[in-house]
Amino acid sequence: MDLHLEGKRALITGGSKGIGRAAAELLAEEGVHVTLVARDPATLETAAAAVRARRQVTVRTIAADLSQESEVLRVAAEAGEVDILVNNAGAIPPGTVLSVDNETWRKAWDLKVFGFISLCRAIYPAMAARKSGVIVNVIGAAGEKFPPGYIAGATGNAALMGFTRALGHGCQKDGVRVVGINPGATATDRQEMLLRHNAKLQLGDAERWRELCSGMPYGRMGSPEEIANAIAFLASDRSGYTTGTILTIDGGA
C-alpha cells in the first residue's frame, strides 16, 4: 500500500533506538526525510547511518535534552518545517508511590510528559499556519492499566492520553491531526530494564527476566517494527479521518 508519504518531513524524538529508530527506518523506506532527536550524539549517528541505508533520504540528527524547555525550542527551530512529529522520548522509572521520590518523579515527567507537551506547543503553530500536519504521541499502555508498581509512568501516560485526545479533538479547524499509540510490552532496551526490575521483585533474580515473557500474549513481546507500522499508517493520509484517537497495541493484554 502506498502511504503517500514521499517527500514528507518527520521529526522523531527518542529516535536513536527502539521504537523511534524503527519508525525512522520505516518512514525513510516510504520516502520521508527524517530528523532524529536523542541525547547521545554517537548513538544518534549510528541510528542515522542505519536509516540512510534503507533509502536515500535526508537524515539529520539533533542531540538534545528534551527535559529542558530551552532545548525543546532549539530543536523546533533547527528542525524547520515538520509534516510529522513523532513524540517518543521518555524513560519514567518503575516504583511505587513511596519508592519514587519527588525529584525522580519530576525529572522523569519533565522529559516525557512536559517534553511531549512542550514540543507539541512549539511545532503545532507552524502546522496550523500551513493547515497541514500530523502529531503521533507514542505514550504507553500503562496509562490504561494503572500498575501500582509503575505509578509515575501510569500517571504520566494517563495525562498524555488526555492531552492527546483534547488536542486531537480541537485541531480540525487547523487542518492538523493528533493521535496516540499505547504500546504494551515491546522488545526494546527500555522494556528489558523494566522486566529486570519486575523479575527481581517477583522471582528474586533480575537475570530471569525472560521468564516473564512466557505469559504474554502469543508468548512474546511486540516488536518495535510493529509499532512503527502503526505510526506510519496513522501519519499518512490513508488515515486522514483519524484524530483524537489512541491506538493500543499490546497483543490484547
Active site annotation includes 150: yes
| 3-class SS string, 18-31 | HHHHHHHHHHHHCC
Tell me the backbone φ, ψ of residue 183, rounded to 5 degrees. Answer: -70, 145
CA distances from 58 to 55, 81, 110 (A): 9, 13, 30
Burial class (CB in 10 A: 0-12, 13-18, 19+), 154: buried
| Measured distance between the N- and C-terminal CA atoms of the chain, rounded to whole angstroms | 28
Query: What is the per-residue DSSP string for 107-146?
Result: HHHHHTHHHHHHHHHHHHHHHHHHT-EEEEEE--THHHH-
Secondary-structure percent of the chain, ordered helix, strand, coil, rounded to 5:
50, 15, 30
SS3 11: strand
Catalytic-role residue among 124, 150, 218, 241: 150
Give me the active site residues, please: 150
